[in-house]
Amino acid sequence: MSDWNKSWIYSNRNFCSRGLTAGMLSAICLTLLLLPVEMSKACSPFDRGFHGYTFINMDILPKSQQTTLAPLFMRFDKLYQDYHKTVDAANRDDNLAEWSERFCGLVKTDDLAYIVYKASPEELELLGTATRSKSLPVPVSLRDNEFANYIWKQKCTETLDYLLFAKACEPHVVANDQWKTTSRNKEAMQQLIASGKKQFNRTNSAYMRLRYAYQIIRLAHYAGQYEETLELYGELIPQVDKRASRWEQSIIPWWILGHKAGALRKMGNNVEASYYYAQIFMHCPGKRASAYQSFFIRTDQEWEECFRMCQSDAERATLYAIRAAGAESKAVEEMRKIYELDPQNENLEVLLVQEIRKMERNLLGLEFNDRKEHNRRYFNLPRPYTGKYIIALQNFVRTCREEKKVARPEVWQLAEGYLEFLAGDFYAADKTYTELGKTVENKLLKEQLDVFRLALKIAAFEKPDAPTEDFAASLIQNDKLYKQYNSFPDFLKDKMHSLYIKFQQNGKAFLCQQRLDDMKPNPQLAMLDDLLAVSLKQDKSSFERLLMQNYPVNDLLNIKTVMLMGQGQYEAALETFRRIPAGSWDDYGQLDPFKETFKDCISCYQRSDTLISLYNRGELLETILDLEFKAKADLEGAARHYYRLGLAYYNMSYFGYEWRAMDFFRSGNTWTKLHRGKDGVYEHWKYPIGNKENTDLSRALYAFEKARSLASDNELAAKAAFQAARCEQKIYFMTSQYKPEPCCNRIPRLTESYLVNFDRLKTQYPNTEFYEQIIQECKYFAVYARK
Amino acid sequence: MKKGTWLLVIGYWCLVMGCSGGLDRNVCPAFYHWQTHLQVSYENRAYLDSLGVRRLYVKYFDVDWDEASNQAIPLAEVQIDTSYLNKLQIVPTIFITNRTLLNLPAGEIENLAGRIFQKIKDLTTSSFGEPSRTPLSDEIQFDCDWTEQTKEKYFHLLTAFRKLSGTGSSLNLSATIRLHQIKFFEKTGVPPVDKGVLMFYNMGDLDEWPTENSILDLNTAEQYLSAGTSAGYPLPLDMALPLFRWGVLFRDGRLLKLINDLDGKELGDTTRFFKIADNRFEVRKSTYLQGYYLYEGDQLRLEAVTLRQLEDAASLLGKWMKKARRGQELNVVFYHLDQQIPKTYPYERLEQILDIFK
C-alpha cells in the first residue's frame, strides 16, 4: 500500500474527525490486505544481508572441488547452505551410482532406486521366488523394472538376499522422529547381526560380503554396542576380498570406517576417531561434510598424536585442511603447512579461493561501496586484521607462484594479481595480469583473467569524463562479461556514483543508484539543476543518454516547480514551469486548492463531481500570484483574497487535500512523528534522501490572520479565526512540546499558547452564523466552547 | 461482627502472617543442570544435601528450528543417570530458541506444545520408570529470550501447554525472565505462567572487548531495577544466580566463542598465552584450547563470579524485593551444577548468600 493511501486513516486524528466506524475499519483492513505490498528486497527495512561484490568464478576450481570441497569452506556463501541441504541426496546418488557401476550400467538409475530404496520386502520376496524358480516370470509390479529383470535373468539371488537383509535392517538404523523418545530394539538388532553374519559367511560375492559387513557393523554401532562394533570390524573386514570386491573403487569401506570412528569416539578414543574421520574427509566426498563435523581435536597433544598416525603427507595435509575450514579460520597458517607437506594438494586451491573471497568481502570496492556502513554494522567488515592478513596471504601466494610446486601455478599468479588489486596496488595488479595474459591457455582461467582486468579498469576510473562515460555505457550495452557476472552492474554504478559525487555532479550521482522517482519525495535543487543541464546538453555522452533516457526535461522542470512551490517561491516556480511548453501544462495534474474546508480529511474533497474549477500547475501559480498581488493592492477585497490564499496554502500543505500541488509523496505515518522532522524532512526506509512534507503553515496562518483582521464582515472573520486555529494546532504538533496521545486515536490537547484563535472565535464571534455551524460540525471546538 | 471484634481478628492475622514484614522468607536453594548428561556424583550429592537443595531444574532438551526440515526439533536431549537423585525433585526445563518462534507458523503452536508435553513425559518415563516412581516436582519451566516479535507465539505456546496438563491440574508453570523483560514488561509482555525466575546474570555487553564482566554487572543491573520493586512485576519471582565462568574469545576485535569453565590455570602457559591485563590474555602461539583452535593474536577475557559479587547481587535483589514473598517460599536457583562447583563455591558461603534473601 502506498503511504498516501494510509495517510487518510491518520488524517482522521484531526480535531474535526468523528472517529472511524466499525464498517470503515473493516473496509480499511480489507484494503490493507488486498493492496499489493511493494518492497524492494535489497532495501527493505529488515535487510540484513551483506552488500558487496565478487568476481571469482567458482568454475575455475576443478569440478570435484566445486561440488564437495568448496561449499564446505565458503561458509558465508549460499553455496554452503545449499550443499548441506543436499548431502542426504548426494549420498543416495553415490550409492546408486555404485550399484549401477557394479551392474555395468546396464540398468536405469530410477529402476535401481526403486528396488534399493522403495520396493517393499514382499515385492523383493516375490522377485526372489521368481528368480529361484525355473518357470515363474518377474512379478507384475516389477515387470517394467530393468534392475528386477536383470536380477531375474542373471539369477542374482545373492543380491536379492542382501537387499532383503538391508530392508530388514532399515527400521533399526534410519533416524528416528526426534520428538519420539523410543529406544532401539537392541534384541532385534542383535538377532539381525547374528543372521547377517550367517548370510555373510554363506555369500560368495565379495561385493555383497562388503555390503553385509557394512549393514552388520552399522547395526552394532546404532545399538550402542561400541566394543562389538570394533570387534565386528576386526572380524568381518579381513574376510572381505579387497581385490574381488574392488574395495579401492567403492564408497562402502568409508561408510564402514565412519561407524568404526563413531564407536571409537564413544569409547573415548578421540584421536583415532578423528584420524579416521580425516581419512573419510579425504577419500569420500559424499561423507565429507559429516566427517568434517565429526573431526574433533581438543588439545595440542591430541593434534600431535593424530598427526603421528598419518601415513602420508597427503593425510597430514588433510588435517590442516579440515582445521582451515573452520568458520573464522585464518587459513594462511594452514595453507603454508599444507604447501610444505603436499604442494599439489587439492585443498590448497579451494582454500586459496576461500581466503580471496574473504578479502573480497573486506576490501573490494570499499572506497565506493555505498553500503559499506551497513556491512560494518552487521558484519564488522572490513575486519581490523585485513591489512595485515592480505600481506601475509600475498606473500604466501607469491611463494607458491614463484616456486611452481603447486598443481596449477597460473591459478596462483591470477590470485597474486587479484590480491594486488584488492590491496589497492593497481599498477602491480595490471602488470601481473599482463604477464599472465601471455601464458595462460586454460579457457576458464582466461575468462577469469578478463573479468579481473575489467574490474580493475572500472575501479581505476579517475574522473567522470566523456571517455570514461562512453566506456561505461559500452559495458552496459555490449559487454558479455559485464552481463555474465552479477556484480558488475553494482560495481560500475557505485564507482560512477562516487566519481560524480567527487566532481559535484550530484544529479548524475543520484541516478547511478536510484530512480528519479526516489528523489521526488524530497527533490534537491543541486541535483535537479545538474540533471537539467545534462538534459539540455546537445552532446550528451552515451552514459548520460542511458541515465536520462526515461526522464524528459519537462518532468524535471515539473519536479523543480513542485519543489520551489514547497519552498514558497511561487515566482521562481512559475518561471520554471513556463519553460514547459504551454501545450504540455495539463500533463502535470489538475488542481483546485481553493475549496473552503473545515474538516481535515485529505481524501474527502477529491471527487471530481464536487470540483467546480480546475487549474493546471501553471494556472494555479498564476492565480496564487495574482491573489497575492490583489491582497496587497485591492483594499476592499483584501480580506477575501487573503482568506482564499490561506485556503490554498493550507490545502496544498501536508495537512490539506490538495497536497499533490506541492509534493509527490505523502506519508500518513508522518502524523505520528510530526515533531521529529528536520526542516520538514523525515527519514523514510524507502527513500535515501528522506521524505519532505510541506508542514510549514506559517504562510497560511499569516493569510488567515490578515483576513480576520481586515474583514469588515464578522462571518468571514469568524471563519478566518477558525482556519487560523487549524493552523495553530498543526504548528503545535510540530513543536517539541507535542506528545502524541498514547492510544485510542484521541485528539491531542493543545496548550494555551496554541489556542489563541479558538479563544478569539469563542469570545469575539459567538454571535455569528458560522459559530453555530462550526460548533455542530467540530466536536473539538464544541468541547472547548463549553469550558 | 462488631467493629472491635474485626480489629482483634485483623491484629491476630498480622501477628500470625507477619504482614508487618516481620516473617522471613522460606528460601529454598536449587540448582540448574544444563548439560546433556545428568550424572550427580557422590560429592555433588553431599554438597547439595549440605546446602539443603531439594530441587534440581534439569534442562530436558532445547527446541530449535531446523532449516532443512523446516520444523521445530528437540536437540541436546538429556540422558539421565538416576544414581544419587533420590529425594531430589526434578523440574523439567525446556529451552526454546527465539528463532524457533520466529519461524514457527502460528497454526503449529499447539502442535509444538503437544510435542513438548509428550517428550517431557516420555523422557521422564524412560529415565525414571513408572510415573509413580518419578521424583518430578509439580513444576515445569520454560526458558526463552522472547522478543516483542515473538511474544505472542511464545505466550500462546505456554497457554497451550498448560491446557494439555488438564483442568484442575496441580502443574505450576514457570518461565525465565530477563532483566530487560522486567523493566519493560509493559512492552515485552508478561508470560501466562504461575511464576517467573529472574535470571540475574548475562547482563553486560558480552560482544564488547572492554566489558569487565558480562555475567554479573551490578551497575547495569541497578539500572534495570531502579524503576521499582519486584512487587511492580505482575508475577511472583524466584531468583536465579550465576555460579559459572567462561572465557570470551575475540578474534580481530570480534566475539567468536564462549569457552565454558575456562579458568586462569591453562592460560598460565606462557609459551602459548601472555597476560595483557587482569583476566585478559592474548594468544602468543596458535594452539588448541578445550577443542577450539586459537590463532596467534586472538584475545581471551576471563569472566567469573566471585562470592563477594554474589553477596552484593543478593543484597541488591533483597532490597529490590522489599517485602515481597515474605512468609512464602522463595526458590533461589544457582546456575549451574557441575563437578567444580563444590570446590569453587563452598556450601557454607552459599548459605550466607541465601540468608541475605531471608
Indicate the residue of B67, B126, B293 with minimum beta-carbon distance to A326. B293
Which residue in A has a C-alpha nearest to residue B266's C-alpha?
Answer: A299
Which residue in B has a C-alpha nearest to residue A326's C-alpha?
Answer: B293
CB contact under 8 A, B126 and A385: no
**DSSP single-letter state for residue A742:** S
Mean pLDDT of B273-291: 96
| Residue the block writes with cell 607462484 | A401
Contact residues for B161 (Cβ-Cβ < 8 A; gap 6+) = B113, B116, B117, B140, B142, B173
User: What pLDDT, on the 0 to 100 scale, is given for residue A119?
Assistant: 93
User: What pLDDT, on the 0 to 100 scale, is given for residue A572?
Assistant: 97
| Residue the block writes with cell 493550507 | A650
B295 pLDDT above the threshold of 50: yes
- Give me the phi and psi of A756, to 5 degrees please: -60, -45
Cα angle at A596 between A591 and A599, to 5 degrees? 105
Q: What integer best gives the mean pLDDT of chain B? A: 89
CB contact under 8 A, B123 and A181: yes
**Residue A628 to residue A635: CA distance in whole angstroms:** 12
The per-residue pLDDT for range B157-216, each reduced to its tens digit, is 999 999 998 777 788 999 999 999 998 888 889 999 999 999 999 998 999 999 999 999
Q: How far is CA A652 from the centre of its chain?
A: 38
Residue numbers in A near B295 (CB within 8 A): 329-330, 333
Mean pLDDT of B24-37: 92
Least confident span in A569-578, B1-10, B109-118, B338-347: B1-10
Nearest alpha-carbon partner for A150 in A110, A189, A197, A108: A108
B149 vs A310, B153, B199, CA distance in Å?
51, 9, 21
Q: Are A209 and A247 in contact (CB under 8 A)?
A: no
Count Cα atoms within 13 angstroms, Cβ side, for A607.
4
- Give me the phi and psi of A555, to 5 degrees please: -65, -40
User: What pLDDT, on the 0 to 100 scale, is given for residue A12?
Assistant: 31
Interface of A with B (CB under 8 A): 81, 84-85, 178-181, 183, 296-300, 302-303, 323, 326, 328-330, 333, 380, 383-385
Chain B stretch 256-285, residues whose beta carbon is closer than 8 A to a beta carbon of chain A? 256
Residue spans of chain A under pLDDT 50: 1-45, 76, 609, 611
Contact residues for A464 (Cβ-Cβ < 8 A; gap 6+) = A496, A499, A500, A503, A505, A508
B42 at interface of A, judged by CB pairs closer than 8 A: no
Mean pLDDT of B229-250: 92
β-strand B329-335 against B237-242: which pairing, if any?
Answer: parallel
Contact residues for B19 (Cβ-Cβ < 8 A; gap 6+) = B13
Indicate the residue of A84, A326, A383 with minimum beta-carbon distance to B252. A383
| Residue the block writes with cell 499558547 | A753
| Residue the block writes with cell 495574482 | A626
Which residue in B has a C-alpha nearest to residue A296's C-alpha?
Answer: B291
CB contact under 8 A, B295 and A330: yes
Nearest alpha-carbon partner for B116 in B133, B146, B96: B96
**3-state SS record for chain B:** CCHHHHHHHHHHHHHHHCCCCCCCCEEEEEEEECCCEEECCHHHHHHHHHHCCCEEEEEEEEEEEECCCCEEEEECCCEEECCCCCCCEEEEEEEECHHHHHHCCHHHHHHHHHHHHHHHHHHHHHHHCCHHHCCECCEEEEECCCCCCCHHHHHHHHHHHHHHCCCCCCCEEEEEECHHHHHCHHHHCCCCCCEEEEECCCCCCCCCCCCCCCCCCHHHHHHHHCCCCHHHCCCCEEEEEECCCEEEEEECCEEEEEEECCCHHHHCCCCCEEEEECCEEEECCCEEECCEEECCCCEEEEECCCHHHHHHHHHHHHHHHCCCCCCCEEEEEEECCCCCHHHHCCHHHHHHHHHHCC
- Give me the phi and psi of B235, to 5 degrees please: -120, 150
B263 pLDDT above the threshold of 80: yes
**Residue B252 to residue B254: CA distance in whole angstroms:** 6
CA dihedral A411, A415, A418, A424 (to 10 degrees): -160
B286 at interface of A, judged by CB pairs closer than 8 A: yes
Residue A63: Cβ within 10 Å count: 8
Nearest alpha-carbon partner for A689 in A474, A522, A569, A506: A522
User: What pLDDT, on the 0 to 100 scale, is given for residue A31?
Assistant: 35
The burial class, CB within 10 Å (0-12 / 13-18 / 19+), for A631 is buried
**Residue A488 to residue A493: CA distance in whole angstroms:** 8
> B292, B293, B298, B299: which to substitute to probe chain A, counting the most A Cβ within 10 Å?
B293
B106 at interface of A, judged by CB pairs closer than 8 A: no
B349 at interface of A, judged by CB pairs closer than 8 A: no
- Give me the phi and psi of B200, to 5 degrees please: -90, 60
Residue numbers in B near A180 (CB within 8 A): 122
**Residue B177 to residue B180: CA distance in whole angstroms:** 8
- Helix, strand, or coil (residue A681): strand
- Give me the phi and psi of B272, to 5 degrees please: -110, -30
Residue numbers in A near B73 (CB within 8 A): 178-179
- Helix, strand, or coil (residue A691): strand
The per-residue pLDDT for range B148-157, each reduced to its tens digit, is 899 999 999 9
Least confident span in A71-80, B16-25, B84-93: B16-25
Residue numbers in A near B251 (CB within 8 A): 328, 330, 385
- List of E strands, A617-666: none
CB contact under 8 A, B115 and A84: no
Grid cell digits, residue A238:
579381513
CB contact under 8 A, B74 and A330: no
**Residue A414 to residue A713: CA distance in whole angstroms:** 87
Cα angle at B177 between B173 and B180, to 5 degrees? 155
**Residue A417 to residue B337: CA distance in whole angstroms:** 56
**Residue B352 to residue A516: CA distance in whole angstroms:** 70
- What's the gap in Å between the CA of B290 and the closest CA on chain A? 5
CB contact under 8 A, B73 and A183: no
Higher per-residue pLDDT: B46 or A610: B46
Residue numbers in A near B119 (CB within 8 A): 179, 181
**Residue A515 to residue A664: CA distance in whole angstroms:** 14
User: What pLDDT, on the 0 to 100 scale, is given for residue B111?
Assistant: 96
Beta-bridge partners for B280: B277, B301
The per-residue pLDDT for range B101-133, each reduced to its tens digit, is 999 999 999 999 999 999 999 999 888 886 656
**Residue A781 to residue B3: CA distance in whole angstroms:** 53
- What's the gap in Å between the CA of A696 and the closest CA on chain B? 34
CB contact under 8 A, A297 and B288: yes
User: What pLDDT, on the 0 to 100 scale, is given for residue A740?
Assistant: 65
Residue numbers in A near B296 (CB within 8 A): 333
User: What pLDDT, on the 0 to 100 scale, is given for residue A608?
Assistant: 52
How many Cβ contacts (< 8 angstroms) between chains A and B?
53
Mean pLDDT of B84-103: 94
Handedness of CA A285, A287, A289, A294 (dihedral sign): negative
> B294, B295, B296: which to substitute to probe chain A, counting the most A Cβ within 10 Å?
B295
* Helix axes A638-652 and A698-710, enclosed angle (nearest 10): 160
Q: One-letter amino acid identity for B158?
A: L
